[in-house]
Amino acid sequence: MTLTSPAPDAPTTAGGHLLEVDNLSVEFRTEYGVVHAVNQVNWHLDKGETLAILGESGSGKSVSAQAIMGIIDTPPGYITEGQIRYNGRDMLTMSDEEQRKLRGPDIAIVFQDALSALNPVFTVGAQIAEMFKVHRGMSKKDGMVRAAELMDRVRIPNAKGRVKDYPHQFSGGMRQRVMMAMALSLDPSVLIADEPTTALDVTVQAQIMDLLMELQQETGMGVVLITHDLGVVGEVADRIAVMYAGRIVETGTVYDVFGDPAHPYTVGLMNSVPRVDQRGQRLSPITGSPPNLANIPSGCPFHPRCPRAQAICSQERPPLRPVVVGRHSACHFSEEVLGV
């Protein structure tokens, strides 16, 4: 963004979205070649809504979130093009100091593996209190008081008695709550949840997802939910962006996309998952396996696995284009897939 933005605190600008990822590309230059993890990806998030980014491992779904949080290691990772706009201001052109002021207080993240994301040699209270110390200049003592309040807010039983416990003394579900307490400590307006429940058992997953949705209703924050689990998406998401081989292949509301997918990959994904409310029928999986991002197929990256592939698909990459109102799909034959 070359324009100087108005006052830094101005809430919204032209686009009007809270968080906008615009034409973002990220590559990793490794000794085995350049891995194109994210290619010209666009998505946006509004206040109070939940956007699900759905994809398999290696689809690049986490990388755009990592770019937002500034945790891509350079080298090998490079953001080669695009913008990440928060309240209309491009974060990638901000000074490091300005970026740091946003990450944590305004945009927070919860990772999949809470045990490795928490520091094992500090108490959980100290780690939550550090947020207040660094960003609010609070004393450690006051910070610990706030930490106990937050742990109570994420419904950790006996929070006051547990602030001085270490991460290994908590169960997996409780550790994930500690992570959420830390993320929510400074009232962020955007929460990125990167596979927050993948490592958890199903009953604990239900507890954590319920908590996340309750907190969202309390605070009105926007949530970016990165996951491979169609069930979780079906339960909580408002809108969805399906990723394949580093690109978004379909977007729309979760009702539209799940009710009537417009991209053959989404169709294949839905047909390959057994459902708890059905039994018996044979699954119709997608053939082959996801491509290596260092060697993405020509044309449409999905064409080698696609049952509808034609000659054009291996030559020309279909852009992500509007299909019907509010829906985008990157397939030459989206209309036929959708049957409109």
Partner 1 sequence: MSELVHDGISPATSTDEPLLRVEGLAKHFPITLGVVRQKLVGHVKAVDGVSFTLDRGETVGLVGESGCGKSTVTKVLLALNKPTAGQVYFEGRDVFAMGKRELRELRRKIQIIFQDPYTSLNPRMTVGDIVGEPWEIHPEVLPRSGRQQAVRELLDRVGLNPDFVNRYPHQFSGGQRQRIGIARALALRPEVIVCDEPVSALDVSVQAQVINLLEDLQKEFGLAYLFIAHDLSVVRHISDRVNVMYLGRIIETGTNAQVYEQPSHPYTQALLSAVPQHDPAVRGQKKRIVLQGDLPSPADPPSGCHFRTRCWKAQDICAVEYPPLVDRGQGHPSACHFAEIENVVAVGADDGTSTYAKADPTPGSGSQRIGTES
Residues that bind partner 1 (CB under 8 A): 56-57, 157, 171, 173-174, 201-207, 209-210, 228-235, 237, 254-255, 258-260, 268-287, 289-290
In the complex, least distance from residue 115 CB atom to partner 1, rounded to whole angstroms: 14
The residues, any chain, with a CB within 8 Å of residue 67's CB and separated by 6 or more, are 21, 24, 26, 38, 79, 84
In the complex, least distance from residue 32 CB atom to partner 1, rounded to whole angstroms: 13
Q: Which is nearer to partner 1, 24 or 300 (CB)?
A: 300
Nearest to 192 by CA among 337, 325, 18: 18
Q: Which is nearer to partner 1, 285 or 326 (CB)?
A: 285
- Are 1 and 94 in contact by the 8 Å Cβ rule? The answer is no
The residue behind tokens 């100091």 is 97
Structure tokens that stand for 210 in this block: 């319920």
Strand order from edge to edge, sheet including 328-329: 107-110, 190-194, 222-227, 50-54, 239-244, 247-253, 328-329, 321-322
Q: At 67, is the secondary structure helix, strand, or coil?
A: helix
In the complex, least distance from residue 114 CB atom to partner 1, rounded to whole angstroms: 14
DSSP-derived pairing of the beta strands 19-30 and 328-329 = unpaired
Q: Which is nearer to partner 1, 35 or 129 (CB)?
A: 35
Burial class from Cβ neighbours inside 10 Å (0-12, 13-18, 19+) for residue 110 reads buried
Nearest to 61 by CA among 238, 211, 193, 231: 193
Q: Which is nearer to partner 1, 1 or 199 (CB)?
A: 199
Q: Which is nearer to partner 1, 105 or 234 (CB)?
A: 234
The identity of residue 319, as a single letter, is P
DSSP for 145-203 reads HHHHHHHHHTT-TTHHHHTT--GGGS-HHHHHHHHHHHHHTT--SEEEEESTTTTS-HH
Between CA 251 and CA 334 the distance in angstroms is 12
Q: Which is nearer to partner 1, 4 or 203 (CB)?
A: 203
In the complex, least distance from residue 243 CB atom to partner 1, rounded to whole angstroms: 13
In the complex, least distance from residue 174 CB atom to partner 1, rounded to whole angstroms: 7
Query: What is the DSSP code (8-state) at residue 306?
Result: -
The identity of residue 11, as a single letter, is P
In the complex, least distance from residue 214 CB atom to partner 1, rounded to whole angstroms: 11
In the complex, least distance from residue 190 CB atom to partner 1, rounded to whole angstroms: 23
In the complex, least distance from residue 96 CB atom to partner 1, rounded to whole angstroms: 36
Q: Which is nearer to partner 1, 2 or 278 (CB)?
A: 278
CA 245, 248, 251: angle at the middle one, nearest 5? Answer: 145
Q: Which is nearer to partner 1, 123 or 227 (CB)?
A: 227
Nearest to 38 by CA among 14, 21, 18, 19: 21
Q: Which is nearer to partner 1, 85 or 303 (CB)?
A: 303
Structural element, H or E, at residue 25: strand 19-30
In the complex, least distance from residue 126 CB atom to partner 1, rounded to whole angstroms: 23
